[in-house]
Chains A and B, each alone.
Chain A
Amino acid sequence: MRWLPAFLSVCFAAGSLAAKKSTEVRFKEYHAKSLSSTPVKLSDASYRELTSTPRDYTVAVLLTAMDARYGCQLCREFQPEWDLLSRGWIKGDKKAESRLIFGTLDFSDGRDIFMSLGLQTAPVLYLFPPTVGAHTAASPEPIRYDFANGPQTAEQVHAWIARHTPDRPHPTLKRPINWMKWIVTTIITSGSLTAAYVAWPYVLPIIQSRNVWAAISLISILLFTSGHMFNHIRKVPYVAGDGRGGISYFAAGFQNQYGMETQIVAAMYGVLSFAAISLAIKVPRIADPKAQSVAVLAWGGVLFVMYSFLLSIFRIKNGGYPFSLPPFM
């Protein structure tokens, strides 16, 4: 007669699924689940059950779409953070003093829920506050987390949840030590140190070469003064279409620019500087009179035409600018 208890328990389990379970029972059940694996993977039915009222516990549910078909970049970026957060929380709160359950509902498991909530985008994070018990919130409506500012870190979400679950323990979030990163860093460092030691006699003349340093300095100055940092900070597009199928190289407006535009400008500055350097340093050292006068006229011409071009470009950026030089009037 050993099958009887087993049979009975199965019957009871089925019966309890069918009947509406009390909030305490539900919490115990899902907490046990989350102790084995958190966040709890939900389906239509379990989502409804978990979030049904009355409840004396808090539920944080991430509605996501992980399947590659939906191409949700943000979902995939946030998923490891979410796992990390929920695992850290449950681990730090084994006795369930914070009465919080983490769940994940994927679109492929919970199409109806997505439909009924009228969700067009993913991921969406809801926090369902308790409706009965010690921590009852003013409104039973779930609180929605704002994903508007791009990918979120576990710390930000942790702070958000902690803010909405006052006077309860908030297990601290600890990121696991990334051993792989440490090992890779150590190997790379030691490798590059060795390489540097071996190559030192060959590298030293380059390091001490004035020409190299002059080149580095000039290139970085040209990059900085042609607005490279602006591109870096604002993440401007490289080029943009002009609306007629062509490419517009220069952005309209004084406070705006494209990546390619700055490269063109840097090149122009470079040519102008190089012409000035040649005229100041190289040309007076040409001993051949004829070659010298040709060089003077050539560099002088390049300088003049390029400066004229630069002025004409600047007039595109700044409409009212009155000055120009021939030939680009």
Chain B
Amino acid sequence: MSADPLHVLANAGKGQSTRTVLRVIILCLIAAAAIASRLFSVIRFESIIHEFDPWFNFRATKYLVANGFYNFWNWFDDRTWHPLGRVTGGTLYPGLMVTSGAIYHALRTLTIPVDIRNICVLLAPAFSGLTAFAAYLLTNEMTTSSSAGLLAAVFMGITPGYISRSVAGSYDNEAIAIFLLVFTFYLWIKALKQGSMLWGALCALFYGYMVASWGGYAFITCLLPLHAFVLICMGRYSTRLYVSYTTWYALGTLASMQIPFVGFLPVKTSEHMPALGIFGFLQLLGFLDYVRSAIPGRQFQTFLWLFTGGVFSVALAALVVVTSAGIIAPWGGRFYSLWDTSYAKIHIPIIASVSEHQPTAWPAFFFDLNFLIWLFPAGVYLCFQQLADEHVFLVVYSLFGSYFAGVMVRLMLTLTPVVCVTAAVAASSLLDTYLSDKSPNPEEYHPEDSNDATSKKAPKAGLKSTNKPVVGIYGFVSKGVIVSAMTIYLLLFVLHCTWVTSNAYSSPSVVLASKMPDGSQHIIDDYREAYQWLRQNTKEDAKIMSWWDYGYQIGGMADRPTLVDNNTWNNTHIATVGKAMSSSEEVSYPIMRQHEVDYVLVVFGGLLGYSGDDINKFLWMVRIAEGIWPDEVKERDFFTPRGEYRVDGEATETMKNSLMYKMSYYNYNTLFPPGQAQDRVRGSRLPEVGPTLNVLDEAFTSENWIIRIYKVKDLDNLGRDHASAAAFERGQKKKRPAKRRGTRYLRTE
């Protein structure tokens, strides 16, 4: 019996049940930290949906909650892509909306009154807590160290690479998809380790959920077969692998085909072919395995050769026939751009225009992962120590993930889980070694027999560095130095994550914030101001034309039909808008009339210095339009003869006459003294005389001129064209060619 409190404290962590309680508490705290660090934007601004895509998801969720599941599934939306409409129910990943709808109804059943918007805003932080837990489970499958899982959970919870896509309000597919990704991997490892059909089926179930939630499911579809393939190549084929893989593939593919948007893609497109191929390959291996146990060795050799040759030639012939007959589609454009990185640039400007498809520079890696980035290779190296089946998975995932993260900024998200897991393995191995209170006795050290020991048992298969037996750390100083250094790194990591989250990833981008000279915060709310204006001052079915970036926001916030939006399914329609924006008024007006456009919305940052405006995106509009009408829109015409993209007095005629230019700078020079008008984004002085607009009327300009809305004029009452009508209004008399009278002559007939 010791009442000594120190002693009690020292023994606290020893018992099994105390440890479990501690773990649960720690995991709960980690989840709380993960959620808390994602709430910056809610506290600073308000509970608001961010950016672009989330607005569509939010709108779809509201539709689901209001109209029920079956109406949602068959939803044809005639308020986007006017006049085509969009089969929304069949062209989206419904997982996210269904999840929040289910939570909404569950809470309603529990008589908790909650607004659907708050569920949508807080869904991503809530799921980040679950992701941290999934990372904990996955890491525990990899190592016996008890601290690694908890470290992985912490890393996963607060690393900016994941926070970037899951702050409160960022109501996007990735919000739940990363949890599903990590959890599917956990279930896969579990199934593989035990060779269990139950775990395999669970893995397929979550895979199906993942397919329903995010297009990035192809990452799993490619990674699991790759893992199986590597295992087979290493000579590690086993019935465990057979059972788990076939269960996952058969059930998972069936599950994924239930999503209308995916449909028959899993048996048709090339990115799903590796999974199918490995499935077939495993059947062959299973068959051979069986035959080997049934017939004698010599006959088996002959059988093997004949069988392999036969199967190979049949498969090759089938592949050639099927591909040439066009049953298997060629590589999908978005996916193909991952392999041949110059492909997208040449062939698909709309892909190249999306900033998420840009490659990743090194600062982005450090920014998103901090010190995990250098613990990551160390953790991968530690995986090579044991190299069981699950470690092979980590290695394969690391290589695959880091390649794709390097090619495309957005896929940093899929790399983050493996970085957290491997870095946690490395960090916990460091901490376990240097925090252990057991030290070897220095007096037991005999220099002469140490050489014998190594030469005797040098395992051949293992790593070179692990040939010698583990001794342990002798001195207290050594331990203290390393442990305190690690503590500093971990603290720095927490500070870094908080700083990055607070500064880089917590802006809703619908509301902009700036600092006043005295340090107080100034909110720039032009977007919502303009959308609210549209909502209140225009007809219910007034069609708004804008560049596709703003389509979802107009649909979500202003509730007005749009021509194009962020679901870029119809390139021609987008190019039509691009052409209308980049052509002169005479060309644009018929296009706008044909599409029943009532209002045109442009984003202009020249007054405020807001660089994400339409003039800066303008070249993409031109390029996309040029892809469809190469004779009418030419990118070359928008550059000066010296190859510069200019908006000032030296801009080309095509540029000055384009509708976008006119709409952006219309009346802009009235804000300044004559000749002083300046564009603060491009840093150039504008010509003294601003552009004139004949076919549009300025309808609304927001406080900081970020959003400008124009009304398309109706046809002229007197049947004149708009240019002459406007000239008449301005009081310019139409110049008539002066009648020249002929010399008079006398008729003499």
- A contacts, CB < 8 Å to B: 146, 148, 163, 210-211, 213-214, 217-218, 220-222, 224-230, 232-234, 254-257, 261-262, 265, 268-270, 272-274, 276-277, 279-289, 292-293, 296-297, 300, 303-304, 307, 310, 314, 317-318, 320, 322-323, 325
Contacts and interface: CB of A to CB of B under 8 A. Distances in A.
A281 B434 CA distance: 11
B462 interface: yes
Contact of A225 (B402, B434, B499): B402
Interface stretch (B464-472, B700-708, B725-733): B464-472
A262 B462 CA distance: 32
A292 B366 CA distance: 31
Contact of A255 (B361, B365, B429, B450): B361
Contact of A289 (B384, B402, B426, B474): B474
A296 B359 contact: no
Contacts of B470: 284-285
Contacts, number: 192
B371 A307 contact: yes
Contact of A146 (B462, B477, B634): B634
Q: Lowest 9 CB-CB distances: which A-B pairs, in order?
A: A229-B406, A227-B362, A272-B374, A224-B402, A296-B478, A276-B378, A273-B377, A224-B406, A285-B468
B674 interface: no
B236 to A, nearest CB: 12
7 contacts: A221-B402, A232-B341, A262-B362, A269-B373, A276-B430, A284-B471, A292-B478
A230 B474 contact: no
B374 A233 contact: no
A221 B378 contact: no
Contacts of A226: 362, 365
B474 A292 contact: yes
A307 B485 CA distance: 11
A289 B387 contact: no
A214 B430 CA distance: 19
Q: Which of A261, A276, A320 has the most CB of B within 10 A?
A: A276
A260 B742 CA distance: 81
Interface stretch (B24-32, B327-335, B487-495, B687-695): B487-495
Contacts of A318: 363, 367
Nearest to B374: A272
B375 interface: yes
Contacts of A273: 374-378, 381
A224 B412 CA distance: 11
Contacts of A297: 478, 481
B385 interface: yes
A213 B466 contact: no
Given A287-B450, A289-B442, A228 B406 contact: yes
A229 B384 contact: no
B188 to A, nearest CB: 20
B407 A221 contact: no
Contact of B463 (A210, A221, A255, A310): A210
Given A292-B473, A320-B503, A323-B492, A217 B362 contact: no
Nearest to B426: A276
Interface string B80-99: 00000000000000000000
A256 B488 CA distance: 30
Interface in B347-400: 359-367, 371, 373-378, 380-382, 384-385, 387, 395, 398-399
A325 B395 CA distance: 31
Interface string B617-656: 0000000000000110011100000000000000000000
Given A269-B377, A296-B481, A303-B485, A229 B503 contact: no
Nearest to B639: A148
Nearest to B478: A296
Contacts of A218: 377, 380-381
B482 interface: yes
Given A221-B377, A228-B406, A323-B496, A287 B362 contact: no
Contacts of A230: 359-362, 406
